[in-house]
Structure 1
């Protein structure tokens, strides 16, 4: 928390007044992130310029990029997806529902395998984000991993 306060340019007391616990700070950060991802999914769903496949891939890239921003948090995010007692559950559930609509649309268009769940696709994107954070990889590793994953998710005729 001291490092967060230092980077934010505020005193530790100010930080604790607004966020009394580390969990409260995490909730505020992730809540905003989940809302942004939900809004992005809604934009992509309404966009006629994206195929269902491309809309899902774009959203998964956004999800993975946001996950990479918060190194060390993928476990917290995945736990919030399923823990109904979590403070993050409501915003996480709304984000997941929007992602499910993107996935469903891509499945209905025959562009993504029909047996996948949104939980599996989100877990895949978060796992790939973690892998792309590891040292030594190329700068475009995240995009390459998601592109490869989307090929594997494609519906086969």
Structure 2
């Protein structure tokens, strides 16, 4: 059957299949990269997603393209979480909940950004840092307006502290240490700012 624009109705299901294949590949790549690191086999990702290598390479011509898609997807999820938390009753709880999610994100994804630079140092990586800063700033500003976060704290301070926790605990055996360190950071967000003389 032909539409009035001359396209056959078979094209719509093909486009849907392609979109679903792409989504499945990104979701599967997230799992595989989390298990085996950013250098995991692309063919293994295709197999686990239930598609052939040709389908993977049609959507993602190289590892850099797939790493970028995975990172973008994770950042999008993180930022959507921040957006939802902006409407929660307690600005303080919302900020704490998002910082926990960000810490989990930073611990899982720390190898992806480095891998992108190694794969193609001249390619523009997604502006993840700006998106994360904006998400943190929205939640922090709300907590500051409610008087539950110290006024001299910046979104950049929080992001750097959480990334520092993720990096410093990456190879540690103590699974509870990242949460303990984050709890100290959260306590400090309520502290009285130190005034230099």
> Shorter-chain TM-score category?
0.7 to 0.9
Q: How does 1:43-54 map to 2 (within 5 A)?
A: 43-48=84-89, 51-54=90-93
1:18 equivalent in structure 2: 59
Unaligned runs of 5+ in 2: 1-38, 118-122
Cα distance in 1 between the residues matched to 2:157 and 2:46: 35
Task: Please give the TM-score of this superposition, normalised by the length of structure 2.
Answer: 0.63
Q: How does 1:40-119 map to 2 (within 5 A)?
A: 40-48=81-89, 51-73=90-112, 86-89=124-127, 93-119=130-156
Report how far residue 155 of structure 1 moved. Answer: 3.7
Which of 41, 47, 66 is 1:3 aligned to? 41
Report how far residue 102 of structure 1 moved. Answer: 0.1
Report how far residue 95 of structure 1 moved. Answer: 4.0
Cα RMSD, aligned residues only: 2.8
Retained in 1: the 8 A contact 2:46–2:53?
Answer: no
Q: Aligned pair count? A: 147
Question: Over alpha carbons, which structure has the higher Rg?
Answer: 2
Per chain length, whose mean CA-contact separation is higher, i.e. which structure has more relative contact order (CA < 8 Å, sep 6+)? 1
